[in-house]
Amino acid sequence: MGQGNLGIEPETLKAIYGQMARIRAVDKAIQAGLSAGKFTFTYWPMTGQEAIPATISQLITARDYMVTTYRGIHDQVAKGVDLYGMFAEALGREGGLNKGKGGSPHISDPSSGSMVTTAIVGAGPAIANGFAISAKERGEDRVTIVNFGDGATSIGAVHEAMNLAGIWKLPIIFLCQNNQWGEYTPRENYTAGPNLFGRAEALGFRGVQLDGNDPAAFHAGMKEVIESVRAGNGPVFVEALTYRMGPHAGVGDNYNAAKDVLADRKSRAPLEKTRALLIEAGICSEDELTAVEAAAKDEVDDAIARALASPVTPASETIVDVFADVNSVPKRGNYPLREAEAAYDGPTETISMAHAIRDAQKLAMETNPEVFLLGEDVGEPHGGVFGTNGGLQATFGTNRVRNTPIAETAIIGAAIGSSIAGMNPIAEIMFVDFLGVCLDQIANHAAKQRYMSGAATHAPMTIRMQLGGALGGFGAQHSQSLEAWLTHIPGIKVLYPSDAADAKGMLLSAINDPDPVVVLESIMLLYTQKGEVPTGDYRIPLGVAKVKREGSDITLISYGWELHNCLAAAEELAKEGISAEVIDLRSLVPIDYARVLESVKKTGRAVVVHAAVEFGGLGGEICSTINEELWGTLKAPAIRLGAEYAPIAYSREIETNQVPNVSAIAARVRGLVKN
């Protein structure tokens, strides 16, 4: 075959083979090392898929964003990730790209454009949209490529992400490396669809099917796709046909495949075919290719040797990188006293909590063009279901205030990706009850990104969620208090303001915080709680509780709308000669144990009150800490009061009795004081 019949420039094909050789050298070294017991880590082989990223490497640069999966080590190699850092990461060493905290399934390397690697099947596309948003809003010509396997196309997150990208015409390529297997299940057993690329067409944008095992054809097809996306023509779904030679995890051959099928695929494997083609076309000699392969092996061997010599990441790193400030991590015995907000002596206005939330967002968006709001119906005409964003879209436009589909996973994913890219998104989730719909994105990605990346990347995003409770008529799926879910996830800060001034000051602090922050907003308080609120920039530091009422006999500790029940109960108890001090936690993570313990030392008794179910709630954690730290000085054990262990009833009569009310709080206090 002559060089002119290749359908690709000879030097380009040679460069593609060079990357394929590096990938194969990495694959062989890992499999040999694992088989020999030289090192131990989980490995998901991509043998047979080398041509896809190797070809793409000739069409993009380090400026272009990539998101990939736990099987994406071939994507990492071709994207330019440092091999020593990659191996050291897989081995859990200090010299790893991410300090050995993420491992190979979670590599994040901004220098090469490899932004996120996710071990959750199908989670990447939602996050990748955020990178594409940032590039489009900044007027950059970056392309985002998100890699995933054919098995991931069965996951709802992929469909949500594709739908969002299509609506917003994002510069993103959904690259499905169709290796014919979803873990251990062949493609024909998990979908009746005739193809995968047609799913994009159903969502209103282009899908193409390319031969991922033919570098020349794949290069031509991807060149057109990348140029189209880079030019601003919107997303494209690429189904790259290939075949996985190895098992889902481990070493060796794909033992689930029929032997004759596997043998046929091996005979047509892209690396071996490309090697033969280079020789047949007279582009390279046998000796030249042998030298390329030897150089790749030497590079890999050197990287592994240096990685093995790197120290194991020490236990002293355990809580480093959970948050930007290690003192934000709740830790027994470490109770920092953070400085409270300074007294504000500027102009104020009497407004509702809803108005205060709207003002905080307006001020943040005026100050920082990288702040934007996204969520269901957040724009005009309603400004959100509860009116907390009224007028913002009219002021800042549809790119800064983005109405989204009903797709919580896509909303949070886009916020994560754009925040990792350096923006400051505010994502609104209409009810905290919908937390379960997008919990993977919050718990496995937003919360863990700083830690898994060893602080190479982080997600400075804000999530606003509204909560029902004691309103009646919302029922079991719109009235829950789920803050304990969030506080049990390392890496997420959780705020719960109880008045208008705090709502504004805490939201502004959240938007400007380097970590992901969830702000919980009580529906009951949005329009009933009016107060004097500073008109300008006003910040409430996170992790600072506030004494709302001083007392000497007992400390009531609460937050959100239940705080007002505690204040009312304190008034009733005062008539009986019981002096109750009331503390508003305001911030649940970080939590202000210093001020809580100081108060309980004074009063000798404590009751923690929350609307969440009592069993397994935050009250148990706080009581345990008080009892451990102050045992011997307490007049009685600290106790808690939460909701009955039942879903929230639609009946107002039941609901107002199953969650703590004023009389229940007062009764609990009487029982403790009299004992």
Supply the residues annotated as catalytic: 478
User: What is the identity of the amino acid at 396?
Assistant: F
Rg (CA), the chain: 28
For 667, the enclosing helix (H) or strand (E) is helix 662-674
CA-CA distance, 66 to 115, in Å (whole number)?
6
The whole-angstrom separation of Cα 364 and Cα 401 is: 13
Amino acid type, 216: A
CA angle at 387 for the pair 381 and 393, rounded to the nearest 5°: 45
Taking Cα atoms as reference points, which of 367, 370, 426, 434 lies closest to residue 402? 426
Buried b (16+ CB within 10 A) or exposed e, 191-230: beeeebbebbeebebbbbbbebbbbbebbebbbebbebbb
C-beta of residue 329 within 8 angstroms of C-beta of residue 323: yes
Nearest to 324 by CA among 177, 449, 207: 449
Instruction: Find, among 390, 439, 385, the residue nearest to 411 by Cα.
Output: 439
CA 609 to each of CA 245, 330, 565, 629: distance values in angstroms, whole numbers, following the listed order = 57, 20, 9, 19
Is residue 258 packed enough to be buried (19+ CB in 10 Å), middle (13-18) or exposed (0-12)? exposed
CA distance 570 to 573: 5
Tokens 């109880």, residue?
Answer: 498
Q: Are 415 and 447 in contact (CB under 8 A)?
A: no
Residue 13, both tokens: 């094909």
Under 8 Å between Cβ of 648 and 476 = yes
CA neighbor of 291 nearest in space, from 31, 55, 21, 32: 21
Q: In this structure, what token pair is assigned to residue 187?
A: 């493609």
